[in-house]
Amino acid sequence: MVCGLALSGLAAACAPVVPSSQPINPGAPLAAHSYGLITTQDGLHGLNREKGNQMGLLAPDLNGQYTLIPGGPRPAPPQGVIEAQELKLKVREMASQLLDTWPNQSLAGVVAVPTTFVSLDNFNESSGLGRYLAEALYYEFNTRGFAAREYRTNGAIRLEPGQGEFALSRALPDLKIDKDWAALVVGTYYRDVDAVFVNARMIRPSDGLVLRTAQLVLPMNDLVRRMSARPPLPSGSLRIVPGR
């Protein structure tokens, strides 16, 4: 029975609920209401609802209605997924630091050229973390409307049977970037026992002028430890040489 309360006259009006004789289609969309009804594509059904549960089982009872049998709480995502999401947010914070005063005169007409972040102790060494930081900045710059250039392609598509179609490559000649429209995005990271310290800069390659800077401290969790400890790529790399 459904009851509605008329506020002006404080009179209650009740109407009987006629449950549908058809069973609920498990794949049908449904809408649950606080007054004990559930509506699906198969019709109108009564619903006994148990609040405060994230999961459960909807089962028919003997009165032509349905009962929501509570289940356990929603399982938490794996720790590795949480750490990956936190790293993504850290990169977003770094991009915000780099562009927090944009648009301004120093960045007017500038195109970002992200490069691999390197070890502070060895500028010729990087890791999965250093490559990921540069790769993620393409996304962060693009979503903010800041132009970025992809330089790891020569415009050709390489077809590899059984593998796929490839446009990106590190087996390219060194690039010399000496234009004032470019801003090289460079960075270093330093691994400590409990943290990784990251510094990023946007520099003008023609004279090395630092345009913007950013800093991060990453917790040394399992994900960051694995990514920062990986050895360099086994094959050749593409270098970008600032003009002088």
Q: What integer pLDDT is reported at residue 11 of this predicted model?
A: 38
Specify which residues 47 forms β-bridges with: 66
Q: Which of 3-12, 201-210, 221-230 has the lowest mean pLDDT?
A: 3-12
- Return the pLDDT at 22: 55
| pLDDT score recorded for residue 40 | 66
Q: Are 188 and 122 in contact (CB under 8 A)?
A: no
Residue spans per domain, the chain = 2-70, 79-242
Average pLDDT over residues 159-184: 87
- Name the one residue in this structure whose structure tokens are 């050895």: 231
Share of the chain above pLDDT 90, in %: 47
Q: Selecting from 3.30.10, 2.60.40, 3.40.50, 1.10.3470, what CATH number does the domain 79-242 have?
A: 3.40.50
> pLDDT at position 232, please?
56
Is the pLDDT confidence value at 168 over 80? yes
Mean pLDDT of 228-243: 63
Q: Tell me the C-alpha to C-alpha distance, in Å, between residue 93 and each of 50, 129, 216.
A: 41, 16, 8
DSSP E strand stretches across 134-208: 158-160, 164-166, 175-177, 182-191, 195-204
pLDDT of 13 above 50: no
Please answer whether residues 203 and 139 qualify as being in contact, where contact means their C-beta atoms are separated by less than 8 angstroms: no
Q: Quick one: pLDDT at residue 121?
A: 94
pLDDT digits over 86-131, tens only?
Answer: 999 999 999 999 998 887 777 888 999 999 999 999 999 999 999 9
pLDDT band at 66 (very low <50, low <70, confident <90, very high): confident
- Residue spans of beta strands (DSSP E) within 89-191: 111-114, 118-119, 158-160, 164-166, 175-177, 182-191
Structure token pair of residue 123: 């500028």
Question: In the predicted model, what is the mean pLDDT of the chain?
Answer: 80
Burial of 59 (0-12, 13-18, 19+ CB in 10 A): exposed
Of the listed ranges 27-31, 56-60, 108-112, 227-231, the one predicted with least confidence: 27-31
Instruction: Using the predicted structure, report yes or no on whether residue 29 has a pLDDT greater than 50.
Output: yes
- pLDDT grade for 41, boundaries at 50, 70 and 90: low
